[in-house]
C-alpha cells in the first residue's frame, strides 16, 4: 500500500465533510459525548466504526488482540474507567469475531513468546467452559463457541469493575456481548443477561 494514498484520501475526506457541513470540524473540537464504549479485537478486518456505521464522536473504542478485558491490564481498565465514570457512556460492548486469530492461537499449543500470557487468559476461558467445549467434536464450531464464550467472560470482567457496578446502581447503564461474523459481515447480539450475571457475581466481586 502506498502511504501517499492515505494522505490523499484524508484530503478528500476533509473536503467531503466540509461540503456537507462547513462547521463539521468546529463542532468536533467542542468535545466528545459518546454513548457507547466498544471493546473489540485489533484484527484489521473488524473495523469497529465501519461495521457499525457510526460517525466520529459516537463510540469510544478500545481494541486489543482477542478483545480481552484483563483485570491487570492497566490500559483496558483505564479505558473502561474513563468511559464509564467520566464520559458516562450508557452502553459497554465487548465485540468478538469469528475467525479470530488470537482465539485460534489459544486453541493450539505453540510457544508464542510475549503473546503467551495474553493467550493464557483465553485458555482460562477454555478451561472454565471445558465441559461444554469438549462436547463439540468438530474444530470449527468449537472455535466459534470459544469466541462467544470469550466475549461472555470479558463482559463479566467489565461487570467486575467498580465503575461499572457504581454506574449500574446510579444510572441507565448496560453491558452487551456481540460477535461479528467475518464470513457474512453480520453483527450478532449474544443477548447476555447482564443483570443476572451482575446479581450472580456481586456476591464475590461486590465493591461496596
> Quick one: which of 59, 80, 95, 100 contacts Co ion (CB under 5 A)?
100
8 Å CB contact between 84 and 37: yes
Site map for Co ion, 32-61, x if CB under 5 A?
A: ---------x-x------------------
- Has 100 been annotated as catalytic? yes
DSSP labels for 47-76? Answer: -HHHHHT--TTSEEEEEETT----TT-HHH
- The single residue of 43, 95, 155, 176 carrying the catalytic annotation is 43
- Has 97 been annotated as catalytic? yes
Separation of alpha carbons 63 and 38, rounded Å? 8
Binding-site size, Co ion (CB under 5 A): 4
Closest distance to Co ion from the beta carbon of 154 (Å): 12
What does DSSP assign to residue 194? H
- Has 45 been annotated as catalytic? yes
DSSP element (H, E) containing 149? helix 139-160
Closest distance to Co ion from the beta carbon of 41 (Å): 3
Closest CA to 97 of 135, 64, 72, 134: 64
- Has 41 been annotated as catalytic? yes
Closest distance to Co ion from the beta carbon of 69 (Å): 14
Residues in contact with Co ion by the rule CB under 5 A = 41, 43, 100, 102
Annotated catalytic sites, by residue?
A: 41, 43, 45, 97, 100
Amino acid at each position: 500500500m502506498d502511504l501517499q494514498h492515505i494522505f490523499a484520501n484524508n484530503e478528500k475526506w476533509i473536503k467531503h465533510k466540509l461540503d456537507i457541513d462547513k462547521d463539521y470540524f468546529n463542532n468536533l473540537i467542542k468535545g466528545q459525548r459518546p454513548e457507547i464504549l466498544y471493546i473489540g479485537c485489533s484484527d484489521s478486518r473488524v473495523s469497529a466504526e465501519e461495521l457499525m456505521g457510526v460517525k466520529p464522536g459516537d463510540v469510544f473504542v478500545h481494541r486489543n488482540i482477542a478483545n480481552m478485558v484483563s483485570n491487570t491490564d492497566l490500559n483496558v481498565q483505564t479505558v473502561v474507567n474513563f468511559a464509564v465514570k467520566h464520559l458516562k457512556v450508557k452502553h459497554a460492548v465487548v465485540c468478538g469475531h469469528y475467525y479470530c486469530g488470537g482465539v485460534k492461537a489459544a486453541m493450539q499449543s505453540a510457544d508464542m513468546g510475549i503473546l503467551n500470557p495474553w493467550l493464557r487468559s483465553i485458555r482460562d476461558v477454555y478451561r472454565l467452559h471445558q465441559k461444554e467445549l469438549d462436547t463439540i467434536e468438530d474444530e470449527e464450531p468449537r472455535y466459534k463457541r470459544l469466541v462467544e464464550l470469550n466475549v461472555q467472560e470479558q463482559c463479566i470482567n467489565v461487570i467486575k469493575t467498580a465503575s461499572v457496578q457504581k454506574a449500574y446502581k446510579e444510572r441507565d447503564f448496560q453491558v452487551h456481548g456481540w460477535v461479528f461474523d467475518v464470513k457474512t459481515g453480520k453483527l450478532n447480539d449474544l443477548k447476555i443477561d447482564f443483570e443476572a450475571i451482575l446479581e450472580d457475581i456481586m456476591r464475590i466481586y461486590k465493591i461496596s
